[in-house]
Structure 1
Amino acid sequence: MTVRETIRRESANLTASERKISNAVLADYPFGALQTIQELAERTGVSAPSITRFVTKIGFAGYQEFQRQLIAELRESRRSPLELKATEKLGSRRAFLADYARRASERIHEMSASVPQEQFDRILGLIADPARAVFVLGGRVSDSIARFLSVHLKQIRPKVYHLPPNPEHWPDQLLAIRRQDVLVLFDFRRYQPDLQTLADIVARECRPSIVLITDKWMSPIARHSDHVIALPIEIETAWDTLVCALTLVEALIVKVSESNWSTTKKRLEAWDRLRLVPPGQPSEEKQ
């Protein structure tokens, strides 16, 4: 369990002073607590002994152990496939596919237990709302998941835009974002600085609802996001898995299409007519 998860688990038991500390830590996680205890006390207006009591209350022996855990999480969030290779557990070579499928299934079950239905429904409501435009983008690898989402959403509803990978082309799209719109970002460990810059600009200038799909170490984009879903990605190989991200996206696609099936049906029918019969060519019915 990460420090963030531990703090949130104990949130109902915190005093007013402890909530000030937790808010400061989570607002700039994990960097908000990687300063001296005196600096954190000055920033929060809470005494150093109160901070010591806070970290003890959430399960740490002291402030140094608390910081060591945060530093360890920061290192984990930056691990590359080369580093993960040293700790991988491939299992039986003869049954690798079956073993890998089992691990992937376990990650999906872990996701289903950790993502509340209420959170899924809130995000679904935003993406399914026809009054809102939906803008989507992912990282170097995760953009494949973002594109999968955008391609399906475009068939289901209008006003869906996949941002181009070149940041030089972003202003054209950003000028169209309104406050009631939705920006969905995918960012997993070894987080991309350009996505962080995008989230910062959009949060400051456009102020739509920002939905972040990330991992348990949390992309820095979380500080700008209204909704954050942290997915399991570790699968004991040199490569993290995106199976949970794909499962989540497929579930969203199904439910968005069902939110107003009669409208979805008409759009799909029109989409197929235009796709299969180019303008100027007679349809089969007229031949």
Structure 2
Amino acid sequence: MDIRQQIEELGDQLTPTERKLTSVLLADYPFAGLEPIQDLSKRAHISAPSISRFVNKLGCAGFQEFQQRLVQELKHGSKSPIDLKTDSAIDHKAPLVSYLSRIDKLNAGLIDCVTPAQFTRICDLLCDPRRRIFMIGGRMSDSIADFFVKHLRQIRKDVFHIPSSREFWPEYLLRMRPKDVVLMIDFRRYQPNLALLSERVQARKGQTIFITDKWISPAAKGASELVSIPIESGTLWDSYLPAFALVEALLVPLAERDWEATKNRIAEWDNLRDVPQNAEAE
């Protein structure tokens, strides 16, 4: 079990002082825990000895061991398919059934990663017509952002897909207004330049929704909403199906909150997209 899960499981067992500390740790996980204990003490407004007692509750002999565990978690975030390959990943007599059973477990785990309250907050942000919506993903996960953008554009206006090349970022950053939303998707092995984009979005007072794995992309630092979802399929490839499931689950309420407006937009969209038969003949 990683540190984040341990903290969340402690729940009601925490003292008021410890809750202040865990709020700081989880708001900027795992990076807040890698700061010197004196800096963390100032940020959380609690004493260093109180922090030491808390990490003892997590089974750590001291703050140094606590930080070593966080570093190990970060290392897991850089594993390649070669590192993940095992000798008996699936049942080769029934590979499809074997793999799908693994995916079922991942999707079931998604329920524990996104609370109903957080799901509603994310919907509120993406539904707000006063906010422009921007999306981008990593080297592989950008396909999920692209999927989300193409659907959301049919539901509402002002939805943009930020290109992966930094050369084009200024155009989108210049369009961005305070409180506009940037949804980023990044899984291990993380996309380094997304951290730079995230910093620039926050400097322009944009709000970020970040979908990542349990090891947390470095670019997620300071995110307004952080969703860490299960991706470990037990094979050499991490699975992005839970991320697609989350996106599809979001699209349903986003479309249905104002169904009349959505229906009219889709109808007009289809009308403009359709090509008259005589034009096709030409």
TM, length-normalised to structure 1: 0.87
- Contact 2:198–2:220 under 8 Å retained in 1: no
Secondary structure at the counterpart of residue 241 of structure 1: coil
What's the CA shift string for 1:198-245, capped at 9, x where partnerless?
00111012x122100001111123322100111000010111000000
Secondary structure at the counterpart of residue 277 of structure 1: coil
In the alignment, what sits opposite 1:60?
A: 60
- Contact 2:195–2:220 under 8 Å retained in 1: no
1:53-202 to 2 correspondence within 5 Å?
Answer: 53-85=53-85, 87=86, 89-202=88-201
**Structure 1 residue 149 displacement after superposition:** 0.1
Rate the CA distance shift 1:179–1:55 in 2: closer, same or farther, 3 A: same
**Structure 1 residue 32 displacement after superposition:** 3.7
**Structure 1 residue 59 displacement after superposition:** 3.3
In the alignment, what sits opposite 1:222?
A: 220
In the alignment, what sits opposite 2:274?
A: 276
Secondary structure at the counterpart of residue 175 of structure 2: coil
**Structure 1 residue 258 displacement after superposition:** 0.8
Secondary structure at the counterpart of residue 136 of structure 1: strand
**Structure 1 residue 91 displacement after superposition:** 2.5
Rate the CA distance shift 1:8–1:102 in 2: closer, same or farther, 3 A: closer
Rate the CA distance shift 1:203–1:267 in 2: closer, same or farther, 3 A: same
Is 1:247 the counterpart of 2:251? The answer is no
**Structure 1 residue 90 displacement after superposition:** 2.2
Unaligned runs of 5+ in 2: none
- Contact 2:28–2:222 under 8 Å retained in 1: no
In the alignment, what sits opposite 1:285?
A: none
Rate the CA distance shift 1:55–1:182 in 2: closer, same or farther, 3 A: same
Secondary structure at the counterpart of residue 272 of structure 1: helix
What's the CA shift string for 1:63-119, capped at 9, x where partnerless?
34322321220111111111111x364232120011101110110011023311111
In the alignment, what sits opposite 1:3?
A: 3
Secondary structure at the counterpart of residue 224 of structure 1: coil
Work out the CA distance in 2 between the residues paired with 1:42 and 1:261.
Answer: 48
**Structure 1 residue 45 displacement after superposition:** 6.8
**Structure 1 residue 187 displacement after superposition:** 0.8
Work out the CA distance in 1 between the residues paired with 2:43 and 2:181.
Answer: 33
Unaligned runs of 5+ in 1: 283-287
- Contact 2:201–2:207 under 8 Å retained in 1: no
- Contact 1:88–1:237 under 8 Å retained in 2: no
- Contact 1:164–1:170 under 8 Å retained in 2: yes
Work out the CA distance in 1 between the residues paired with 2:275 and 2:110.
Answer: 42
Secondary structure at the counterpart of residue 60 of structure 2: coil
- In the alignment, residue 126 of structure 1 is paired with which amino acid? L
Work out the CA distance in 1 between the residues paired with 2:9 and 2:31.
Answer: 20
Count of residues in Structure 1 that have an aligned counterpart in Structure 2: 280
Rate the CA distance shift 1:27–1:270 in 2: closer, same or farther, 3 A: closer
- In the alignment, residue 142 of structure 2 is paired with which amino acid? D
- In the alignment, residue 218 of structure 1 is paired with which amino acid? I
Secondary structure at the counterpart of residue 221 of structure 2: helix
**Structure 1 residue 27 displacement after superposition:** 5.5
Work out the CA distance in 1 between the residues paired with 2:130 and 2:44.
Answer: 40
TM, length-normalised to structure 2: 0.89
Rate the CA distance shift 1:88–1:274 in 2: closer, same or farther, 3 A: farther
Rate the CA distance shift 1:34–1:108 in 2: closer, same or farther, 3 A: same
Work out the CA distance in 2 between the residues paired with 1:244 and 1:35.
Answer: 32
RMSD: 2.5
